[in-house]
Amino acid sequence: MSGAAECVVTGVGAQGDGLAICAGAPVFAPYTLPGERVAGRVEKERFVVEAVLEPSADRVAPVCPHFGVCGGCLLQHWAAPAYLAWKRDLVVAALAREGVETEVAPIVDAHGAGRRRAIFHGRQYGSRTVVGFAERKSHAMVAIDQCPVLSPDLREALAAARAVAQALAPLRKPLDLHVTATGAGMDMDVRGSGPVPAGLLMDLAALADRFALARLTRHGELLTQRAAPFVMMGRARVHLPPAAFLQATARGEETLARLALEVVGPAKRVADLFCGVGTFALRLAETARVAAFESNAPAVSALLKAAPSVPGLKGVEGEARDLFRRPLMAEELKRFDAVVIDPPRQGAEAQAQELARSSVPRIAYVSCSAQTFARDARILIAGGYRLLGVTPVDQFRHSPHVELVGRFER
């Protein structure tokens, strides 16, 4: 189906596109809002909008000049109240699809000062170096000169990434440049370059000084360091491994940790599953003994090195363990009176099955996917747990990604 057409947008789908019916067939209409009448053309199952004939009262001016071309943000045109209500509804719908009934609290806006980590892409087009993000549903690159969703601590991140990519341009490799804001300055890890010739190392060191980078690494290999990058997890100073995973915003981390600790309550022995560098473990240890598990050995090592320097922690032990292949078994879980679990987007089906067989009184389930959370929640409920409530959290502003914390009790 193709050609000029008009349609009315009836809703917004889970990936952020408007939903409409055009000539009797459903279509996705990017960058549109519920109730809008739009004109354009149909290309396969997508509606390419050429004019918004009747805009929604919730339509607002985007905050970034790259919006609509850059694929990073999809919803800058939607006013905050309606946008946040839609995000909460995504959680409600995901739970309903799995037949899970519970109270869904109002969504918490946790954007805070903005995102503290970003992955820029660097590509060579002839003699031109382009650094930015990909277009939506494309490998084509958008050269960007600003990104308003980033924290002020990353105000020089794009310029630094561009300079490093230009220095590595002779290698003619596609680059990913991971930049993280830390207490010691920006930390950058370059992926995709291959070995860096000795002749370029001095150039990179000079750029690190110019942009006050705390550290510059290549696939985790140290190239130059001015100061050890660190973040604070509660009272603990954690020295980060290169390209370490962190929650997207500092406010998001604080919010998720607060909600998880509320679920754990007075528990004295807690397991932290998929612990990362200690987002929850180092806070939990203020009042409980914690055993932390994570497949990434450098992350576990960073957590364990940070804990002894904090007076008054109850004790933290850790193990590098692949919880997908070797979940903690029900027998191993007997020694804990609470569990915090924060798996990646695919969820933790195998671990949920073992938790369902366990006798752990409380579980705080932190998730970045409402769909896989709902699946795992159904497993836990079938095992005898009650899901007492879910709190959605938005730290990925202008995107369809929503996080949440669920409270399970026996």
Both 287 and 322 in one domain: the answer is yes
Both 382 and 254 in one domain: the answer is yes
Where do we find the tokens 């494309």? 138
Asked if residue 342 is part of any domain, the answer here is yes
Q: Is the pLDDT of residue 332 over 80?
A: yes
Q: How many CB atoms are located within 10 Å of the residue 80 CB?
A: 13
Q: Is the pLDDT of residue 227 over 70?
A: yes
CATH code for the domain in which residue 134 is found: 2.40.50.1070
- Confidence class of residue 377 from pLDDT cuts 50, 70 and 90? very high
Q: What is the pLDDT of residues 159-169, one digit of tens each?
A: 999 999 999 99
- Confidence class of residue 220 from pLDDT cuts 50, 70 and 90? very high
What torsion, rounded to 10 degrees, do the Cα atoms 58, 403, 189, 165 define? -20
Q: Is the pLDDT of residue 3 over 80?
A: no
Asked if residue 73 is part of any domain, the answer here is no
Name the domain count of the chain. 3
Angle at 55 between CA 75 and CA 106, to 5 degrees: 45
Task: Give the residue-averaged pLDDT of 266-274.
Answer: 98
Domain carrying residue 211: 117-229
Task: Give the residue-averaged pLDDT of 267-279.
Answer: 98
Q: What is the pLDDT of residues 286-326, one digit of tens each?
A: 999 999 999 999 999 999 999 999 999 999 999 999 999 99
Asked if residue 124 is part of any domain, the answer here is yes
Where do we find the tokens 């990604």? 401
Both 176 and 317 in one domain: the answer is no
- Cα gap 190→177, rounded to integer Å: 5
- Confidence class of residue 176 from pLDDT cuts 50, 70 and 90? very high
- Confidence class of residue 137 from pLDDT cuts 50, 70 and 90? confident
The predicted structure's pLDDT at residue 169: 96
Both 253 and 298 in one domain: the answer is yes
pTM of whole model > 0.75? yes
The overall average pLDDT reported for the chain is 96
Task: Give the residue-averaged pLDDT of 131-137.
Answer: 91
SS3 at position 66 = coil
Lowest mean pLDDT among 39-53, 174-188, 268-282, 385-399: 39-53
Asked if residue 78 is part of any domain, the answer here is no
Q: Is the dihedral of CA 387, 388, 394, 395 positive or negative?
A: negative
- Cα gap 57→343, rounded to integer Å: 38
For residue 258 the two structure tokens come to 């607060």
244 beta partners? none
CATH code for the domain in which residue 27 is found: 2.40.50.140
Residue ending a domain, choose from 229, 255, 281 = 229
Which 8-state DSSP code applies to residue 282?
H
Residues known to be catalytic: 368
Both 130 and 213 in one domain: the answer is yes
Q: Which helix (H) or strand (E) holds 355?
A: helix 349-357
Asked if residue 235 is part of any domain, the answer here is no
Residue ending a domain, choose from 229, 264, 286 = 229
Both 217 and 140 in one domain: the answer is yes
Q: Is the pLDDT of residue 1 over 50?
A: no
